[in-house]
Amino acid sequence: METKINVISAGEHELEATLTYEEILPEIEQAYKEEGKKIEMPGFRKGKVPLALLKKTYGEAIEYKASEKIANKKFWEIVEEQNLNPISTPKMVDLDFERGSKIMFKIQYEVMPELELKDYTGNEISKIELKVNDEMVDDEITSLRKRNSKDEVTEVVEDKMNVINVNLKKLDESGNITDEKGQDLNIDLSDSRVNKDIVENAIGKKKGETFKFSFKDMHEVDEDGNKKVIEETYNYEATINSINKIVLPEFDDEFVKKISKEKFSNVSDWTENIRKGIQSYYDLQSEDMYINGLLSTIVKNNDFEPPHGYVHKILDNLVAMEQDKAKREGHKHFDAHQVEKQLHSRAEWNAKWQIIVNSLAKKENIAVSEEELKETAEKEAAETGISVEKLLKFYKDSGRKDTLLEQKVIDFLKANNSAKVINPNEQKQTEKE
């Protein structure tokens, strides 16, 4: 067997291989076995035609048909032997099969281009510092109390701590009814997402009475091929069918014991636990935003056009994930073409980032050793009870080594770039001044 790698570009190579007929003879014989099962001739039942007669009658057709399959099989064997690492679906560009003599094929495939990276250290990246305040803690406590509240039927909407059931009617500009928009609709007036106009106009109303409200909506319209954003006001009239007052439980030590399942015994400790929980969540959000900003800066500083096949491979995976999500959530209509358009820029960015990870790891000698992989498996085995051998096989099949390498690259970038901490409240105050 003779092989040669032709470099077409930094991101695309071509494998040219020539094998003798003897080297592919096992595959040729297998092709006769497979095709022979399907063929019948006068005097012979299907699958019982003698091999010599099969070769004489159909040999040329069978072998030429098998040649492309053989070329693909040999390609992947060579990929494994020579560690070629194609990053997208290869394509055959040439195939020359001479029966009884040889097979020659050329297959092009994309590879990770090695970039001359620049400006990946010494950058200052903004990091928003999110701090929990008393209002956030109070909101969380109120939410907990609401989840453990009781409903009490009442006749008047005294405040926002009520759930009203209404029938809605859409009104035109003159106040005339144009549509019975929503029937038997529950509105929780204490929900911060509810239109303030609804809350203000509902308070003081009794069962059977009506109130009006409106809201404004910004949306895009197409006028003679030109898209523009317009604001529209929608008016409604609501008739109250029923009113249920939200009766919150007292926020005391007994409530704390119940809600925490005896982990906490008093209001003070539980409140502090809530504060720490919110702060921990905000810290994670802040870190995620910082890392996203850092990676975006590195990609921007080293922008390039990634291999198209690699982008589409990532795009196909993203679309498949969205389709699975839609199926799980019960969405019957999935527009794959529209989703593909929406996700293309994300796939392109991901392709760029993965190629940068590969180049940066090589340049800075960042790697994941087999020993590190085994240590990770041993730690996970102790936590899950799954054997180290099974975990290592799973790591290999799922690309866990690549994930660990990416995290090492991110850790390197975090260590070699700095964060400029920004308090969003102080920033808003500065902007006002």
266: DSSP letter: S
Same domain, 240 and 277: no
367 pLDDT higher than 90: yes
**Is residue 31 within 8 Å of 62, Cβ to Cβ?**
yes
- Residue 255 within a domain: no
Same domain, 41 and 170: no
Average pLDDT, the chain: 91
Boundary of a domain, candidates 81, 110, 139: 110
182 pLDDT higher than 80: no
Same domain, 425 and 334: yes
- Residue 237 within a domain: yes
Query: How far is the C-alpha of 294 from the C-alpha of 360, rounded, in Å?
Result: 14
- Residue 97 within a domain: yes
**Is residue 156 within 8 Å of 206, Cβ to Cβ?**
yes
Beta bridge partners of 153: 244
Boundary of a domain, candidates 110, 140, 162: 110
Residue 86 has what pLDDT? 94
Q: For residue 147, what pLDDT band results from cuts at 50, 70 and 90?
A: very high
CATH number for 307: 1.10.3120
The string of pLDDT tens digits covering residues 108-117 is: 999 999 999 9
Q: For residue 181, what pLDDT band results from cuts at 50, 70 and 90?
A: low
Q: Which domain holds residue 74?
A: 2-110
The string of pLDDT tens digits covering residues 265-297 is: 999 999 999 999 999 999 999 999 999 999 999
Beta bridge partners of 168: 182, 238
- How many alpha carbons fall within 13 Å on the CB side of residue 4? 7
Q: For residue 229, what pLDDT band results from cuts at 50, 70 and 90?
A: confident
Boundary of a domain, candidates 214, 247, 280: 247
Same domain, 276 and 385: yes
pTM: 0.77
- Residue 141 within a domain: no
Same domain, 202 and 310: no
Same domain, 224 and 157: yes
Same domain, 219 and 299: no
Same domain, 224 and 275: no
Same domain, 193 and 282: no
Amino acid identity of residue 103, one-letter, is I
Same domain, 400 and 291: yes
- Residue 121 within a domain: no
Query: How far is the C-alpha of 3 from the C-alpha of 163, rounded, in Å?
Result: 75
Same domain, 231 and 280: no
DSSP 109-140: EE--PPP---S-SS-EEEEE-----HHHHHHH
Mean pLDDT of 319-342: 91
With H, G, I as helix, E, B as strand and everything else as coil, classify residue 262: coil
Look at residues 397, 328, 409 and name the one whose alpha carbon lies nearest to residue 365. Answer: 409
Q: Tokens at residue 156, please? A: 């008047």
Residue 424 has what pLDDT? 78
**Is residue 422 within 8 Å of 293, Cβ to Cβ?**
no
Residue 426 has what pLDDT? 61
The total of structural domains in the chain comes to 3
What's phi and psi for 135, nearest 5 deg? -65, -40
- Residue 407 within a domain: yes
CATH number for 238: 3.10.50.30
- Residue 138 within a domain: no
Residue 225 has what pLDDT? 66
Same domain, 71 and 178: no
- Between 418 and 429, the higher pLDDT residue: 418
- Residue 133 within a domain: no
CATH number for 85: 3.30.70.1050
